[in-house]
Chain A
Amino acid sequence: MSVINYAQRVIDFKIVYYGPGMAGKTANLQYIHRCLPNGNRGNMISLATGDDRTIYFDFLPVTALTVRGFQTRFQLYTVPGQVQYNATRRLVLRGADGLVFVADSQFERLRENVESLRDLEANLREYESTLDEIPYVLQYNKRDLPNLAPLSYLEFVLNRRAARVPFFEASAIDGKGVFETLNTVSRMALASEFGVGRERRNEAS
């Protein structure tokens, strides 16, 4: 959960990118790392296997706006998407202030998307939390590929909730939708610290 430090005048948030294997979670962080100047980001750390599959997490700290005299900083994490790494996904999820669910838009990956979303909800329950309590957005990635599921269908399958959350079409490999996603989830996390709380969840949908 967020850490507000009056001595340093900083607020730290943790944002976790969740989703099935090969959906593009690491590609999001790599693009952000490539585009932000050194002064606005730290080193990116990737704990990956020899063939570049995430085995524990990727980590990228970025700095954002100063709000009411506090520098805001966001620590971006990805989880390993492969099914067998559930224990490590749960550990990375600990203390998340915001979530991005990165879905693979291809028809043949729909089942993995749904399973990963269920897995996310189950892991949140371990921390006595739910998707209704944490600032949360959806990213429909790989919109540049053929064999795409229509947006309305993805929304029906993955965003069928009492209050729909913001969603973004993306092609993370070339950066489309990456910063829109990050700006929205970070703004939602930030808003949840102030006053009565977060933005309306369906604002961007």
Chain B
Amino acid sequence: MKLRNTVIQEQDAARIHEILSHFLGDSGAVEALLIDRAGQLMAMEGDSQALDAVSISALAAAAYSSTAAMAQLLGEPEFSVLFHEGTKRSIHVSTVDDDAILLAIFDHRTTVGMVRLLAGEATRAIGGVLGEARVRPKPQAEFGVPLNETESRAAWTPPS
């Protein structure tokens, strides 16, 4: 499948924020990360002070991809849920659409069943938002004009 660029406008971000906030409030999960299947973090909600969300996103997308590849070896199109149980915190990952997954981190204050149930609702709602965002043309104000020389300069200077 050909992957699509994603442009998340402010109104999309607000709707995703609302969906994830409700999901956390209703499910009792402590963190929710919306992740592009290529491994990029698109949005997150929760008490994320000490969380290396960028690394978790890359690892979760990789784990999800390898699980999907295993599913195909069994003749399944995909395993739609991935669950890792820890002693204090656990991770639940579910499919949003072909290009995104939702990762929830939860602890003893809720159950995997509750998280799973409400993640289903949240992923359907987020899938709708992302679907609309992906068919919208890229804003021309910022992206319609090629980069100038200053904007194309080297980003990093090698150590001398």
A: which residues have CB within 8 A of B? 1-8, 12, 14, 35-36, 40, 42-43, 45, 47, 56-57, 59, 61-62, 64-65, 67-70, 72, 75, 77, 87-88, 91-92, 94-96, 127-129, 175, 178-180, 182-183, 186-187, 190-191, 193-197, 199
Contact partners of B143 in chain A: CB under 8 A:
4, 193-195
Chain B 60-92 residues near chain A, CB threshold 8 A: 62, 65-66, 69
Across-interface contacts of B58 in A (CB, < 8 A): 45, 59, 61, 75, 77
User: In whole angstroms, what is the CA distance A3 to B38 when docked?
Assistant: 10
Check B3 against A68 for contact (C-beta < 8 Å): no
**For the complex, what is the distance from the CA of A2 to the CA of B134, rounded to whole Å?**
12
Interface centre among A6, A183, A196 (most CB of B within 10 A): A6
Closest-CB distance, B68 to chain A (whole angstroms): 9
Interface residues of B (CB under 8 A from A): 1-10, 12-14, 36-43, 52, 54-55, 58-59, 62, 65-66, 69, 138, 142-147, 151-159
A42 near B55 with CB under 8 A, answer yes
Chain A interface main SS type: mixed
Identify B7's interface contact among A6, A88, A182, CB under 8 A: A6
Q: Find A75's partner among B3, B10, B39 (CB 8 Å cutoff).
A: B39
Known pairs A3-B6, A45-B59, A193-B143 / 14 extra A-B pairs, C-beta < 8 Å: A3-B42, A6-B8, A6-B9, A6-B10, A7-B8, A35-B158, A57-B62, A95-B3, A127-B2, A178-B158, A179-B156, A183-B154, A187-B155, A195-B144
Q: Give the Cβ gap from A55 to chain B, nearest Cβ, in Å.
A: 11
Do residues B147 and A3 form an inter-chain contact, with CB atoms below 8 A?
A: no
Q: How far is the CB of A139 from chain B (nearest CB, A)?
A: 14
Q: A183 to B7, Cβ gap below 8 A?
A: no
Check A75 against B147 for contact (C-beta < 8 Å). Answer: no
Q: List 18 A-B contacts (CB under 8 A).
A: A1-B6, A1-B38, A3-B40, A4-B5, A4-B138, A6-B7, A8-B13, A12-B36, A42-B52, A42-B54, A59-B39, A65-B151, A65-B155, A94-B37, A95-B38, A128-B1, A191-B146, A191-B147
